[in-house]
Structure 1
Amino acid sequence: MPRQTTRQTHQDSPLPAPELTIAEVRLTPVLIADPPLLNVHGVHQPYTPRLVVEIVTADGVTGIGETYGDTKYLDIARPYAELLPGRSLYDLNGIAALAQQVGIDDTQVENAVDVGGLRGVQTADKLRLSVYSAFEVACLDALGKVRGLPVHALLGGKVRDTVEYSAYLFYRWAAHPDGAGEPDTWGEAVDPAGIVAQARRFVDDHGFTSFKLKGGVFPPDQEIAAVQALAEAFPGHPLRLDPNGGWTPETSLKVAAELAGVLEYLEDPATGTPDMATVSAGTDVPLATNMCVTTVGEIREAFRTDAVQVVLSDHHYWGGLRATRELAAICRTFGVGLSMHSNTHLGISLAAMTHVAATVPNLDYACDSHYPWQTDDVITTRHVFTDGHLPVSDAPGLGVELDRDRLAELHRRWLDDDGTMRDRDDAAAMRKAEGYENWTSPVLPRW
């Protein structure tokens, strides 16, 4: 179906000045190339859905945002977009509240696990927040362009000129099954030597000085060996391991004991706050999460039980950049560390991440980013990491511009798809590989 455009007038309140009035909302779902990266649920599909949101003012200024593009998100974004024309760019609280007017089919979220973000069990509110996040970013981008201010200035101003990111290492195959997707030059990485070689390329290409390995793929002893190989190859460099809740508390404690003094933190070794609290009580290795603390309602138990010592924020999860700053303030109040989670994103989201990260005083660890894995983009100039850092743009808005030709190409890929790639399913992608025809997403814990 063609991308959606909405245009109407909000009649419930006086119209704001034309330069601040939302006149039009454009939604463009796209499919972006994704390598065969492995995780606890399976393997990434050859293409991943994303949604690009454009908010256009009555004076023709356009702001852009980005979020997940799976069907369940589009089903919220489309009716939500109809509610926005006539609103002021400044009315972010009112715009956020409008998301509650969008009904959600309970069958979309009942007992479902959010594989795309690996953030635990889905809820209707989590879906709404992830959709609203893109609209808020687009409003801030447009407002920044109208006022001639960078987004970080609208959030209170930057406290750093560059933001540090970490190399995101994955076990991976050399290619997708049946030759699907786009070829790359990375090659296979299924053992410690492959992971170390991958890390060296990240250092050579981007200058990263810290490393995170996506675990939960192989038995824990093999992943311990990979982290130990990284520690030997890169002495003194911060290391992290993330099995996405794939282990029991007992296995988690064994791994923590083996890697004590090696890991900067262990991310979501077990599933759920109670099991994370059990692990935390038995180790001095800091535990991080982007799975059991992803909404405000989940904070109290996790902090009360000392289940986590580091929260990995994500503006898609929390409902935008302002909410991310609120989370940072809560973490600062309770002495909990803060960093930033990443999903399979384009340059719009990376720009938004960098702006909000620049405004947070207590950014305690280098942020995650999938971006070096993504060869597709919809912005005119790709982000470039220098010594593992990105500069914070002082240009109006996000400081990035849409490449409309490329956006159209990636949207055409979405239109031409037979529906198999429009919803991320790592288990289904795994079943296409020889020897994994009967694969199902494991019930966690796996080990």
Structure 2
Amino acid sequence: MSKKRDRLEKKREGRMDRRSFVSGSLGAAFYAALLGDAKAAGTSRAPKLRIREVRAIRLRGGFNPRFVRIYTEEGLTGTGEFVDTMGAEYIINNNFNVMLKGRDPLEIQGITADFNGYRRMNLGGPPSAVFIKGNGGPYLTAVSGVEMALWDLAGKALGLPIHQLLGGKIRDRVPVYMHAASPKIGRDLMDRLKLRALKVGLDYSNDDWSIDKGFEKRKRFGLHLTNNQVDDTVNFFAGFRKELGLDTELGLELHAHYDLEGGLKICQQVEQYRPLFVEEPTTSDNVESMVRIRNNSRVPLAAGENIYTRAGFRPFLEKQALSIIQPDFCKTGGLMEGLKIAAMAETYNVAVAPHGVCTPLGTMGMNHVCAVIPNFLIQEFTHYENKLFTELVEPVKLESDGYLAVPNAPGIGVELNEAAVKERLEPEFKML
């Protein structure tokens, strides 16, 4: 009976491996399977590693950057970044640290499968899942940071950049965009950095070009706009187009502030200024509202920073609600999940422009995924010139024509500035 059960389990494992190959993008799962086979045969370059500790920290200032580091018994480490969600650092330190001790850090798919409960449900594996196919929240953010750190560690262990572990890059550099608070600032950024695009948004403006009507600074959601307020928003964007001309790609960020009718009116009236995209013209929790705006305007719609995992993006793709998706790999499940989201979007001819409000460490981690996905459009680099973010990481510089080179060093390819991190460490956390 025991032998029969073993044979059944092996068959189920085989079926799962084949499904992983199909669901993974660009051969990343195939690489993982090959690595496992080579290790079993004693022919792999991979060293034998065991996780000793997983430690997360939170810093003061600048959106409170959060990092996680994985330590191995053999002295090798990997570092990742996660964003936005309060509490994820405690989940890592109190739950994941215990859960991952003794695990092989190169078994990234196995670890993330356990995070999501797949092996417990399908293979009778250990009861170690933190949630069962959960969607968003601090658990998923914690998974995202740990998963990035695992890829960084794997790259260092094998002497390879992450993009090579994900199937190999199809571009050596990627275009990026930044934010501009006014046409004057936009002109300065374009003249100095030769950026490929800019994004403008009402909520980051605090000069004469802001719409000083008293509603945007309170960041009210679902706001119904008057005709004058719609006109103000459109004129705000028109000022950038007038200053920068049609040669500069411009995205309009609305941060899901408005109800369906307000978002639709803005999209219809801003068409004449040919935006690269309009981001979150309404909230991302109602697919049908986004579909209605898409079907009644001709501007490309973008969203994704508040959508999580393949399961979250699926209805937006199936209903053709978006022209561009913007997953944030630092909170939507990690780099591999981002790769799978991109592969799913590719089948619908939808472009990917990853959201990014992290430090350059997370930006470069996501950059490896941008290098390998065919349907990549552009990468967000919000804090390229913000010292609160840049001082925490080794210098990352754009090329002279506004592109960001894909790193070829092992792992992510950049390291934290330990002194700056220590200086801003919140007192309740132990330094990495």
Structure 2 gaps of 5+ residues are 1-39, 117-127, 204-215, 218-228
Three-state SS of the structure 1 residue aligned to 2:375 is: coil
1:31 aligns with 2:60: yes
Alignment check: 8 A CA contact 1:240 1:263 kept: yes
Contact 2:85 2:138 (C-alpha < 8 Å) held by counterparts: no
- The residue type equivalent to 1:128 in the other structure is Y
- 1:362 pairs with one of 370, 375, 381: 375
Alignment of 1:311-326 (within 5 A): 311-326=325-340
Identify the residue that residue 212 of structure 1 maps to in structure 2: 199
More helix, by proportion: 2
Distance in structure 2 (CA, Å) of the matches to 1:69 and 1:275: 25
Look up the match of 2:310.
296
Aligned partner of 2:169 in structure 1 is 158
Going from structure 1 to structure 2, the CA distance change for 1:404 and 1:299 (only over 3 Å counts) comes to closer
Task: Return the match for 1:197 from 158, 174, 184.
Answer: 184
Residues 301/380 of structure 1: CA separation in 2 closer, same or farther (3 Å cut) = closer
1:66-215 alignment, distance < 5 Å: 66-68=81-83, 71-78=86-93, 79-100=95-116, 101=128, 125-170=136-181, 195-215=182-202
2:198–2:250 CA contact under 8 A, matched in 1: yes
Amino acid at match of 2:265: K
Match of 1:409 in 2: 423
Segments of structure 1 that go 5 or more residues without pairing to the other structure are 1-13, 34-47, 105-122, 171-194, 418-447
Q: Alpha-carbon deviation of 1:273?
A: 1.3
Offset at residue 69 of structure 1 (A): 6.7
**Cα distance in 2, alignment partners of residues 316 and 212 from structure 1:** 20
Indicate which of 293, 314, 321 corresponds to 1:279: 293
Give distance in 1, aligned partners of 2:109 and 2:335: 13
RCO comparison, higher one (Cα < 8 Å, 6+) = 1
Q: CA deviation at 1:209?
A: 3.1
Superposed CA offset, 1:97-116 (max 9, x none): 34354768xxxxxxxxxxxx
User: What residue is the counterpart of 2:279 in the other structure?
Assistant: 267
Q: Structure 1 residues 276, 22: closer, same or farther in 2, change over 3 A?
A: same
In structure 2, the CA distance between the partners of 1:331 and 1:385, relative to structure 1 (3 Å rule), is same
State the Cα deviation string for residues 394-423 of structure 1 (Å, max 9, x = none). Answer: 111111122221111111xx2289xxxxxx
Contact 2:83 2:141 in 1 (8 A): yes
Structure 1 residue 154: Cα displacement: 0.7
**Preserved CA contact (<8 Å) 1:207 1:385:** no
Question: Residue 244 of structure 1 corresponds to which residue in structure 2?
Answer: 255
Aligned in 2, Cα 1:59/1:51: closer, same or farther, shift over 3 Å?
same
The corresponding residue for 2:235 is: 225
Sequence identity of aligned pairs in percent? 26
1:321 deviation in Å? 1.0
Which residue matches 1:255? Answer: 266
User: For residues 179 and 154 of structure 2, what CA distance do their matches in structure 1 show?
Assistant: 33
Q: Could you tell me how far apart the structure 2 residues matched to 1:50 and 1:247 are?
A: 28
**Alpha-carbon distance between aligned partners in 2 of 1:319 and 1:143, rounded to the nearest angstrom:** 18
The match for 1:179 is none
Whether the 8 Å contact between 1:18 and 1:57 is mirrored in structure 2 is no
1:60 to 55, 61, 75: 75
- Structure 1 range deviating more: 202-211 or 400-409: 202-211
Per-residue deviation, 1:367: 1.6
Question: Deviations for 1:112-143, whole angstroms, at most 9, x for unmatched residues?
Answer: xxxxxxxxxxx764432211111111111111
Does the 8 Å contact 2:360/2:384 carry over to 1?
A: no
Q: Partners in 2 of 1:259 and 1:318 — Cα distance?
A: 30
Classify 1:285/1:97 alpha carbon distance in 2 versus 1 (closer, same or farther; 3 Å): same
User: CA-atom RMSD, angstroms?
Assistant: 2.5
Residue aligning to 1:184: none
Secondary structure, in 3 states, of the residue corresponding to 1:31?
Answer: coil
- 1:46-78 CA distances to partner (integer Å, 9 max, x unpaired)? xx2222111122221111101127542123212
Quote the residue 2:49 is aligned against.
Answer: 20
Deviations 1:12-62 (A, max 9, x none): xx9x986422222222221233xxxxxxxxxxxxxx222211112222111
Aligned pairs, how many?
343
User: Relative to 1, partners in 2 of residues 1:24 and 1:292: Cα closer, same or farther, differing over 3 Å?
Assistant: closer
AA aligned opposite 1:53:
V
CA contact (8 A) 2:310 2:340 kept: no
Per the normalisation by structure 2, the TM-score is 0.73
Look at both structures and tell me which one has the larger radius of gyration over its CA atoms: 2
